[in-house]
Amino acid sequence: MRKRLASIAVAGLIAGAGVVVAQTPAVAAPRAPHGDLQAGIRRQLAAGVQVVPKQTASGKAAATGAANPYTALLRDPAKVDKYFWSEQAKAAGKARAQQRQAQNTLAAANPIIHDEAEPKGTHGSNDSHATAELIKGFGTGKKLNNRVRVLGQLSPEAVSPSALNPAAEDDGSIPLAFEFGLGANRNGFSTTGVIGDGPHGSTGDATGDFDFVKVHGHAGQRLIAGTSGALDTVVGLYDATGEIVAADDDSGPGLSSLLDFAVPATGDYYLMIAGYGLGTVFPADPFDSGSGLGTGREGAYNLDVSLAYPDLDFYAVDLVAGDVLGGSVAGVGTRLTVRDPGGRVVFGSEQDASFIYAPASPLPGGGNAVVSYVAPRDGRYTIEVGGAAGQYDITVEAYRPGPEALEQGVTQTLFLDFDGARINTAIFGGPGVRQLSPLQGFLGRWGLSAADEDKVINEVIATVRENILTDAKARGTDPRIGLKILNSRDDADPFGRPNVHRIVVGGTIAESGIDTIGISQYIDPGNYATEDSAIVLLDVLSDPGGDASLNTYITPASDKIKFIGRALGNVITHEAGHLYGNFHTDPLNDTPNLMDAGGAFPGLFGVGPDNIGGTADDVDYDFGEEVFTPDEGLAGTEDTLNTTAWALVKGKAK
């Protein structure tokens, strides 16, 4: 079944677009038809550029109630301020790394020091998964060292940038793209430009000014284009047919852009520089310089571009099933990529998201790029580093899952609290101690009565058990998985005791102070914090209508109790999946996964092709293999089943 595309944010953002634009006075209101602006917002979202006003990390007070998009199930991911959360991640990741170092939580043994064997100034000997340098003596076994520092250097093809005069206007489309000779007679240049000075800027017809540069790339080269200066820029890249193949907003310092693109095929490409705007970043037709949708940010910028063959360094490590691998890179390294024994990318990152790890997690962070991965089986895995020319320093560490260190046979408990709870929502980024109302208070909003509560709870528990235990035992690689599922109806509240996770099912956005459907305290690969919480709020799920409401999919043909129980069970399992180490997967492709991000309902609810919940064609959503959601800056195929299974391994074996 293909997952249904929800009206990803466009309706909410533009019901209408003028309201959104008005929130950022520095961005001029576009002078374009309403329908065109809707298309512009869709185009911008598809390229991964946010369409909500930006604020800095220092403006956190203004973001009160904004849910952490990594750990939250959002009804509308398009409303996320990516820039704010990127700033938060950088600052919090560095703070966590400093605290971790100060607390000396690392193992007592000194790490292995592995110096790159490839001679300085050369490349080609360890540039692939097949030719990776093996780090001997690394691992979690008794005679192995679980920590290593890899010291190396990247030596890509030398770039000799030319300082060039700015392009002449009008250079606002593919046919008018300025030719600096990149890929023809030079492999790098620096220049300056101005957005807003052309015939379509705010002093012209105000449809929007764009600067295009022609690039002739060869397969295997890497195009790197970075801006600097006061202007908030967006950099896009088009192929010769006018398709957007890459884009970047804020990967450079501050509001600067840094696009890093591996050229897949020889041919002409077209680099575009624009000012940030809300739906105005890309022209409607890249072959027409007058097809912009309005003016966004305007001003001067600096541009540095290179096109050269890269140096990619690969290192191999031997892991056993259940090993939890973590890596962080400093220096010139800006990308880390983990590949499985078959060479498939299983975790790729150009960011440090370690701020969402539990404090008890031993995994490293604080670098330019951070990775984490739970090995589903024994084998030789590789770690790739990429970036600019110069020296890098990689920290790689491996640990056994947290519960494996507990007393023999100890099992994690998951407590489902349907009675409402007084909870400090600050642990999720909320305003503090709040009272959440119970499940029973929402039954009437689904047309149920208090007499139906037990039946709904039974369906929820059965769904959570099937999603986690049944599937992991049948298809997972952890032979010692265990989980006790308790609930507030049948069991005394065990929360606060060792090895008890709690999920509160109840409450509203207003009660919690957090704008989300669900949210977990951490993402914890390896499950090192076994006593954390999550919440599943029920107001959006029980609204009269909307893509994220169960009522939208209930008709007289529905088995209402079965549908509501399964849908709630899936959302609960999603939040538990974060506590067990999983990130979000792509909600818009063909593969159902319980870790699918929000914004594409009714997929996670299990609604089948008939668009009615609780009928014979409903879909059983499970943990399994699926690609990460592209919105969160990660790449590769995530194995949510085995990440979960190994997080729930029982205490020490005999």
* Domain-embedded: residue 533: yes
The two structure tokens encoding residue 32:
């374009």
DSSP one-letter string for 514-537: -BSSEEES---TT----S-EEEE-
* Phi, psi (rounded to 5 degrees) for 357: -70, 150
Note whether 468 and 478 are within 8 A (CB). Answer: no
Strand-pair category, 258-262 with 222-228: antiparallel
Q: Per-residue pLDDT for 631 more than 60?
A: yes
* Domain-embedded: residue 18: no
Q: Are residues 513 and 594 in the same domain?
A: yes
Q: What is the CATH number of the domain that holds 382?
A: 2.60.120
Q: What is the pLDDT of residue 464?
A: 98
CA atoms within 13 A on the CB side of 612: 11
Give which of 77, 220, 125, 157 is closest to 601, Cα–Cα: 77
Q: What is the pLDDT of residue 123?
A: 84
Note whether 260 and 239 are within 8 A (CB). Answer: no
Q: Are residues 128 and 197 in the same domain?
A: no
Q: Are residues 321 and 300 in the same domain?
A: no
Q: Are residues 174 and 131 in the same domain?
A: no
Which percentage of the chain shows pLDDT scores above 90? 84
Q: Are residues 479 and 515 in the same domain?
A: yes
Domains in the chain: how many in total? 3
* Domain-embedded: residue 53: no
pLDDT in tens, 256-287: 999 999 999 999 999 999 999 999 999 999 99
pLDDT in tens, 590-624: 899 999 999 889 999 999 999 999 999 999 999 99
Q: Are residues 331 and 458 in the same domain?
A: no
Choosing from 383, 399, 415, the residue where a domain stops is: 399
Q: Are residues 425 and 557 in the same domain?
A: yes
* Domain-embedded: residue 142: yes
Helix (H, G, I), strand (E, B) or coil at 349: strand
pLDDT in tens, 531-573: 999 999 999 999 999 999 999 999 999 999 999 999 999 999 9
* Domain-embedded: residue 24: no
Q: What is the pLDDT of residue 634?
A: 95
Identify any residues that bridge with 223 across adjacent strands, giving them in sequence order.
261, 307
H or E segment at 300? strand 299-308
Residue 528: domain span: 405-647
Average pLDDT over all residues of the chain: 91
Summarize the confidence of residues 146-167 as an average pLDDT. 96
Q: What is the pLDDT of residue 608?
A: 95
Summarize the confidence of residues 474-483 as an average pLDDT. 97
Local confidence band at 64 (pLDDT 50, 70, 90 cut-offs)? low
Choosing from 399, 430, 454, the residue where a domain stops is: 399
pLDDT in tens, 12-54: 333 333 222 222 334 444 444 445 888 999 999 889 899 999 9
Q: For helices 560-579 and 453-465, give the axis angle rounded to 10 degrees.
A: 50
Note whether 174 and 212 are within 8 A (CB). Answer: yes
Summarize the confidence of residues 325-339 as an average pLDDT. 97
The two structure tokens encoding residue 29:
């209101």
Helices (H), 466-581: 471-475, 509-512, 560-579
Q: How far apart are CA 551 and CA 563, in angstroms?
A: 10
Q: What is the pLDDT of residue 121?
A: 84
Q: Are residues 258 and 217 in the same domain?
A: yes
Q: Are residues 500 and 375 in the same domain?
A: no
pTM over 0.85: yes
* Domain-embedded: residue 278: yes
* Domain-embedded: residue 21: no
Q: What is the pLDDT of residue 4?
A: 41
Q: What is the CATH number of the domain that holds 288?
A: 2.60.120.380
Which has more confidence, 339 or 106? 339
Q: Are residues 373 and 453 in the same domain?
A: no
Note whether 347 and 339 are within 8 A (CB). Answer: no
Query: For the stretch 169-184, what's the b/e string if a residue is b when 16 or more beta carbons lie within 10 angstroms of its beta carbon?
Result: bbbbbbebbbebebbe
pLDDT in tens, 349-396: 999 999 999 999 999 999 999 999 999 999 999 999 999 999 999 999
Helix (H, G, I), strand (E, B) or coil at 362: coil
Local confidence band at 304 (pLDDT 50, 70, 90 cut-offs)? very high
Identify any residues that bridge with 192 across adjacent strands, giving them in sequence order.
302
> What is the separation of C-alpha 502 from the centre of its chain, rounded to a whole number of angstroms?
24
Give which of 199, 215, 218 is closest to 207, Cα–Cα: 199
Q: Per-residue pLDDT for 580 more than 70?
A: yes
Q: Are residues 363 and 479 in the same domain?
A: no
* Domain-embedded: residue 214: yes
Note whether 346 and 338 are within 8 A (CB). Answer: yes
CB atoms within 10 A of CB 192: 15
The backbone region for 424, taken as left when phi is positive above 0, alpha when psi lies in -120 to 50, beta otherwise, is beta
Q: How far apart are CA 591 and CA 620, in angstroms?
A: 11
Choosing from 382, 399, 416, the residue where a domain stops is: 399
Q: Per-residue pLDDT for 7 more than 90?
A: no
Note whether 252 and 224 are within 8 A (CB). Answer: no
Q: Are residues 364 and 385 in the same domain?
A: yes
Which has more confidence, 95 or 516? 516
Strand-pair category, 313-319 with 133-134: parallel
